[in-house]
């Protein structure tokens, strides 16, 4: 006959998850470079200046060349919907602050209601802004 503690141990999901998490932490620690704090991220060797790369309208030479600020969204905090004859509508803008390359975007929602996003994806040329509209029609 099985001991009750054996049955409990087999059904202890949280204990198993805890053990798996501990193993993941140990794996990550083994993969860490002990000298990673000594890396020079501002090295001249990383720059692509002076290199002859072929880029098209949808690529840029290097992330280093354009900086780390790739997108602006306004408004930043929340969207306010207006009621237009039974349809709720709002708009926000996606701006491309990069001066040398377009950016790609894809907008989606996790809302449990069916909403329409126009346009929901595309490219925004350098320094341009794309207005995005969101609609919800009352059924």
What value does the mean pLDDT take over residues 11-34?
Answer: 76
pLDDT value for 74: 95
Mean confidence (pLDDT) of the chain: 77
Question: pLDDT exceeding 90 applies to what percent of the chain?
Answer: 35
pLDDT-derived band at 9 (thresholds 50, 70, 90) equals low
pLDDT value for 105: 93
Q: What's the predicted TM-score (pTM) here?
A: 0.52
Taking alpha carbons only, the member of 135, 136, 55, 137 closest to residue 98 is 55
Tell me the C-alpha distance between 12 and 56, whole Å: 55
HEC assignment per residue over 55-83: CCCCCCCCHHHHCCCCCEEECCCCCCCEE
Lookup: tokens for 40: 């020079």
pLDDT tens track for 50-91: 445 555 555 555 555 555 678 899 999 999 999 988 899 999
pLDDT value for 30: 77
Q: Do the Cβ atoms of 103 and 123 come closer than 8 Å?
A: yes
Cα 90 → chain centroid: 22
């Amino acid at each position: 006959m099985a001991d009750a503690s054996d049955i409990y141990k087999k059904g202890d999901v949280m204990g198993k998850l805890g053990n798996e998490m501990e193993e993941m932490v140990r794996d990550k620690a083994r993969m860490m470079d002990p000298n990673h704090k000594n890396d020079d991220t501002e090295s001249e060797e990383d720059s692509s200046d002076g290199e002859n790369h072929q880029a098209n309208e949808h690529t840029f030479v290097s992330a280093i060349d354009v900086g780390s600020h790739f997108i602006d969204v306004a408004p930043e905090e929340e969207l306010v919907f207006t009621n237009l004859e039974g349809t709720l509508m709002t708009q926000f803008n996606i701006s491309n602050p990069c001066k040398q390359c377009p950016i790609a975007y894809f907008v989606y929602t996790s809302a449990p209601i069916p909403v329409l996003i126009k346009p929901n994806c595309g490219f925004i040329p350098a320094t341009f802004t794309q207005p995005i509209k969101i609609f919800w029609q009352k059924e």
